[in-house]
A = this chain, B = another copy of it.
Amino acid sequence: MDIKTLCLGVLSLGEASGYEIKKFFEDGFSHFYVAGFGSIYPALAELTREGHVTCCDIAQEKRPAKKVYHITPSGAALFRRELAQAHPVHRVRSDFLLQMIFAAFMPPSRLDEVLALRLEDIRAELGHIELCNRRQDIPPSAHFALGYAQAVLQAGLDYIEGNRGVLSVTPPNKDAP
């Protein structure tokens, strides 16, 4: 699923501008998909050229004009075809886990820092998801996706808290030796 398909997906839920498409993913789905303006705007331009979406310039008071995109029947058909074909890939690219493999080459204080940073990130993402779960403008199945992300993040959090002990080669000295 490339970014063009993703734009078609969001637009099949309703009209939106490029800016709003980015926000759609940022607010809650950022855990499993991130896209920048540098990808979204060119994708929308191409989809327009291909006739899969149409575009209306909307002037606004007290803020910049925006371009609102609508999906066309050809776009909707393309999106369904894409959904029917795509293999459900789920790719993880974790510098964190890579760092853990090589934990022995880090000073203990740095190891603590890395774990703290990861826990912080997980907690932030969990908070994000909780907020997003209250949204009414997303399809019911999106809550399934959010629940999945939540379950997986929580499992990671619990794992770190329960097993960080195995990383410290030198356990905190019990008492006077």
Which residues from chain A sit less than 8 Å from chain B, CB to CB?
1, 6, 9, 12, 29, 31-34, 79-80, 83-84, 86-107, 110, 114, 117-118, 121, 138-145, 147-149, 151-152, 154-156, 158-160, 163, 166-167, 169
Cα(A100)–Cα(B142), bound, Å: 6
Q: A98 to chain B: which residues have CB within 8 Å?
A: 1, 6, 9, 32-33, 145
Q: A154-B155, A159-B151 are in contact. Are A83 and B105 (CB under 8 A)?
A: yes
Q: Count identical subunits in the complex.
A: 2
Q: A159 to chain B: which residues have CB within 8 Å?
A: 147-148, 151-152
A39–chain B nearest beta-carbon distance, Å: 13
* Selected A-B contacts with CB under 8 Å, 30 pairs: A1-B99, A9-B101, A9-B105, A12-B102, A12-B105, A29-B101, A33-B94, A34-B91, A79-B105, A83-B106, A86-B95, A87-B117, A88-B95, A88-B96, A88-B117, A88-B118, A90-B94, A90-B118, A91-B92, A92-B149, A97-B149, A100-B141, A100-B142, A103-B141, A104-B140, A143-B166, A148-B156, A148-B159, A152-B152, A152-B156
Instruction: From the candidates B99, B144, B163, name the one contacting A100 in the complex (CB within 8 A).
Output: B144
A144 touches B167 (CB 8 A): yes
Q: A96 to chain B: which residues have CB within 8 Å?
A: 88-90
